[in-house]
Amino acid sequence: MTTSQDRARAMTTSLDRTAVTTDADVVTRMARLRHEFDHSFAEPVRRHDEEHVELLAIRAGGHPYALRLAQTQGLHPDRPVTPLPGSVPSLLGLAGFAGTVVPVYDLAALLGHPVAGRPRWLVLPLGTPPLGLAFHELDGHVRVAADAIVAEDAAAGRRGCLRGMVGLDGLARPLVDVPATRAVVHALAGHTIEAGHTTEEVAR
């Protein structure tokens, strides 16, 4: 009985402390948020745009990656994917977007990780033909300084989907290059890349 009373008393004390902490914290946080909100509209647009890169922090097959937002044309959660019979394990099936049927590939399989579970998120890369890349988790949408990205020369003859690396919250994330991924997909599907849509152009 003594133990249970002690536990109840400890719990009550903990709740009180949390409440006190939260009260003070919330006021500070609200003030900071309001300040940041107001400040964001006060900044000049050019600076805002040129010195930063928009990234999507994702997880595919349990590994952290990042995508350039500029290389995509849409992000969608929980889209129904109709499976297709075939010998390509990374092809998950077909999904419909605004009247267009799009093949959906598992980004984790393309990156060489074993397929683990059904991916929830779909990102549509830029370019044609339309394509869907599926991944498991979205860590968030971040804006990083351009010099935080360690670039890698795409012309170095490197094959695969990854180009460069970015440090986010103390964690180094490989950058998934969407055009390179598209090239990998096309190679799997037996297509050739059109002249006007090279990786470098899209990146620019």
Choices 46-54, 84-92, 97-105, 196-204; region in contact with other proteins by CB under 8 A: 46-54
Residue with smaller CB distance to other proteins, 69 or 188:
69
21 binds other proteins (CB under 8 A): no
1 binds other proteins (CB under 8 A): yes
Return the exposure string of 111-138: e unless at least 16 CB atoms fall within 10 Å of the residue's CB, then b.
beeeeeeebebbbbbbbeebbbbbbbeb
Alpha-carbon gap, residue 191 to 184, rounded angstroms: 10
99 binds other proteins (CB under 8 A): no
- Residue among 55, 45, 40, 59 nearest 148 (CA): 55
Residue with smaller CB distance to other proteins, 112 or 140:
140
Question: To which residue do tokens 């984790």 refer?
Answer: 108
Residues with Cβ within 8 Å of residue 74, at least 6 apart in sequence = 97, 123, 124
56 binds other proteins (CB under 8 A): yes
- Residue among 72, 67, 103 nearest 88 (CA): 103
143 binds other proteins (CB under 8 A): yes
Choices 43-51, 164-172, 176-184, 196-204; region in contact with other proteins by CB under 8 A: 43-51
Of 17, 18, 129, 191, the one binding other proteins by CB under 8 A: 18
200 binds other proteins (CB under 8 A): no
Residue 145 DSSP symbol: E
13 binds other proteins (CB under 8 A): no
Of 14, 100, 115, 158, the one binding other proteins by CB under 8 A: 14
Pair 106, 121: CB distance under 8 Å: no
Order the strands of the 121-125 sheet from edge to edge.
Answer: 72-77, 121-125, 132-135, 100-106, 91-97
Of 24, 31, 35, 74, the one binding other proteins by CB under 8 A: 74
- Site of interaction with other proteins (CB under 8 A): 1, 4-5, 7-8, 11-12, 14-15, 18, 22, 33, 36-37, 40-41, 45, 48-49, 54, 56, 69-70, 72-77, 140-141, 143
